[in-house]
Amino acid sequence: MGPLVIALTPSSWVCKEVRQILGKGFQKGITLRHLRALVALSDLKLVARVSEALGVTQPAVSKQIAELEKIVGVPVVTRDRNRLYLTPIGIRLADHARQALGQLDRAAFDIEAMTSGVSGSVSIGVVSSVAPTLLPGTIALFKRSTPQANVSVSEGHFVELLPQLEAGALDLVIARIWQPQELAEIDQMALFSEPIVVVAGRNHPIAQSSEVEWADVINYPWILPQSNSVARQAVDALFASNGLPPPNNTIASLSLALNLELLQAMPALGLLPARLAQAQAARGQTVILPLETQDLLSEARCFWRKDQVSKNATLSLFLKCLQQATEDINTIPFG
């Protein structure tokens, strides 16, 4: 048997250099200022923007990067005219820096929440297409921060949930929006953007088609939102934009669990959030069809009464948890 030859790929070279760096005990020299500068540079590319974002001078930013490179012992940036780009080592360090800063922010949040003494309850109304993506992480964080507080969750359509919010029966509503508008006495906040995609069961006749047009799917059964919902209006507008009437062979269902089973039981088509659709496709349960949905209902927002955050400490804490969970979601790419 001949000698064993190991070919080092670019990623293995990165790992080798990282191991060399770790052996230098560089942790003692790196500060939070270095980490924040590196993460900001990764996001913003320009020293001027980084200095503005961090509230420091441009020479201070350049000094922090130079110090970091001296500590690490290898370049972390390359320069192209007035822009700075991270080297492979810089990218790896920026990823770790982002995680470290996120953990510190979470620790500060947890300490603030646990010492706040918040109790009471919060009532949430949510549309079914957002609940599995956003609420598990939010509620887990909320309960960890204040175990004595209670949460109740109701699912429904926005047109059903909004009157309950206005009447005080709900403290917060989370929904996908179509044609956003200001609402009297209601504050709102954008949370995240996630595409809605068209899906079919794995045994659907059209599942194996590489090219699909909207005209090809109009005559199949469709699982759609309720006819009086904002979501259904948006779906009807989507078909109209493709020169088609709305489907007339429909099943109106709020239940994601039921909808997924229906896709397996019959040759129906439906709409799912991209993350859920990708998870189901990875399990071999559904197929995502190559149809353009034109940002249909892609933006999720939350809504609350303007006078409540200052009066309801439990709601205020839940909103902070919601923002933190949203930041975690936004760091996870699609695909």
What is the CATH number for 324?
3.40.190.10
Block means of pLDDT (10 residues each) for the chain, 335 residues, are 38 49 61 87 84 87 87 85 82 84 70 67 92 92 87 92 92 91 91 93 90 94 91 93 95 92 95 92 93 91 89 88 82 48
Q: Are strands 77-80 and 83-86 parallel, antiparallel or unpaired?
A: antiparallel
Q: Select from 102, 136, 166 the last residue of a domain.
A: 102
The encoded tokens of residue 92 equal: 């790896």
Domain that holds residue 166: 116-194+298-330
Amino acid at 333: P
- Non-local (6+) Cβ contacts of 297 within 8 A are 129, 176, 177, 178, 196, 231, 234
pLDDT at residue 287, rounded to an integer: 95
Asked if residue 2 is part of any domain, the answer here is: no
pLDDT at residue 137, rounded to an integer: 92
Q: Is 183 in the same domain as 203?
A: no
Q: Are strands 196-201 and 172-176 parallel, antiparallel or unpaired?
A: unpaired
What CATH number is attached to the domain comprising 57? 1.10.10.10
C-alpha span between 78 and 72 (Å, rounded):
15
pLDDT at residue 19, rounded to an integer: 52
C-alpha span between 334 and 197 (Å, rounded):
12
pLDDT at residue 251, rounded to an integer: 96
pTM, two decimal places: 0.67
Q: Is 190 in the same domain as 302?
A: yes
pLDDT at residue 1, rounded to an integer: 41
C-alpha span between 304 and 297 (Å, rounded):
20
Work out how many domains the chain is built from and give that number.
3
Could you tell me which residues are beta bridge partners of residue 150?
Answer: 121
The encoded tokens of residue 281 equal: 């496709």
3-state class (DSSP) for residue 191:
strand
CA atoms within 13 A on the CB side of 232: 19
In the 8-state DSSP scheme, what is residue 84? E
Amino acid at 7: A
Q: Is 92 in the same domain as 209?
A: no
Asked if residue 107 is part of any domain, the answer here is: no
**Ramachandran sector of residue 263 (left: φ over 0; alpha: ψ -120 to 50; beta: rest):** alpha
The encoded tokens of residue 222 equal: 């469709």
C-alpha span between 215 and 239 (Å, rounded):
9
Q: Is 307 in the same domain as 282?
A: no
Q: Is 178 in the same domain as 324?
A: yes
Q: Is 144 in the same domain as 171?
A: yes
Q: Is 44 in the same domain as 180?
A: no
Could you tell me which residues are beta bridge partners of residue 310?
Answer: none
Q: Is 32 in the same domain as 181?
A: no
Q: Is 200 in the same domain as 189?
A: no
C-alpha span between 237 and 224 (Å, rounded):
13
